Amino acid sequence: MKRHVVIGFDARDHIAIGKVFEDFGDANRYLIYLNTQRNGEMIGKENRLLEYAEIFEMDYIPFRKSPESND
């Protein structure tokens, strides 16, 4: 199953934020949002300045399970 990963980078090409999507349309909308509305803002857990974002297609990326899940 293909998954799409949108990754936002800071000026030093360090990862500032990342999000996994199953649907390419959702990933593309998030990419546009990051590159237009959030560009130049402090973002992510480490408060990095977002420089740009890119989208990558991966063959398989497992989603994190919540600790409450019994699966």
| pLDDT exceeds cutoff 70 at 63 | no
Q: Rounded distance, CA 24 to CA 7, Å?
A: 14
Quote the CA–CA distance of 28 and 8 in Å, as a whole number.
13
Q: Residues 31-60: what's their mean pLDDT?
A: 89
What is the per-residue pLDDT across 11-33, written as a single tens digit (0 to 9) for each?
899 999 999 998 999 999 999 99
